Amino acid sequence: MPEPRDAPANIEALRFYWESLAGGAVPERSALDIAQILPILPFVMLMEFEPDPFVVRYRLTGTKIDEWVGINVTGRTLNEFLPGDRTGSSAYLMACYEKSWRTGQPVIGAYDWPSVAGNPLRIWFGIFPFSIGGVLRQFLVVEDFASVPDDAEPLPWREAHTDEK
């Protein structure tokens, strides 16, 4: 698995901004100034969760996220994609969200998504926790497709999730 120190610049920029909000502690969501992250907004998702059972919901998704996935997943949960996910990426991401929730720290990593040609496409992500009223309740997430070749065609979401066909 790739090392967080190898993360693309957009993810490092969001990490630096997140750390500036509360000195490395979990910042309040109200401290987030969207104007400070405008260049990466198309690649950003706002996620919220319920702790018991642990459910992660897509609250808002950027335009590039929707384009990559091929559908708008706003309002859906990551959990509902677990059973049909042939790639393993949903389970890996769930574990990363849970780690961020339990530690109150960002989680930076990458997963491989199949292309139509069958080649793996490396997708970097950063998960950054936020609190509401002092309780960790949301994550700001950025995904980075910069390392994906322009001519690469990702395997459509529905084809990678058997229950979405």
Tokens of 132: 């509401």
pLDDT tens digits, one per residue of 92-110: 999 999 999 999 999 999 9
Q: Is the pLDDT of residue 1 over 80?
A: no
Residue 88 pLDDT greater than 90, yes or no? no
Pair of tokens at residue 64: 């590039």
* Neighbour-count burial of 125, counting CB atoms closer than 10 A to its CB (0-12 exposed, 13-18 middle, 19+ buried): buried
Contact indicator for 125, 143 with CB cutoff of 8 Å: yes
Looking at residues 79-99, what average pLDDT do you find? Answer: 89
Architecture of domain 4-30+53-164: 2-Layer Sandwich (3.30)
Inter-residue contact 41 to 143 (CB < 8 Å)? no
The pLDDT assigned to 57 comes to 97
Domain boundaries, the chain: 4-30+53-164
Residues present in the chain in total: 165
d(CA 31, CA 120): 37
Percent of the chain exceeding pLDDT 90 equals 58
| 32-73: pLDDT as tens digits | 999 999 999 999 999 999 999 999 999 999 998 888 777 888
Answer whether residue 163 shows pLDDT above 70: no
For 101, the token pair is 């929730």
Question: How many Cβ atoms are within 10 Å of 39's Cβ, its own excluded?
Answer: 9
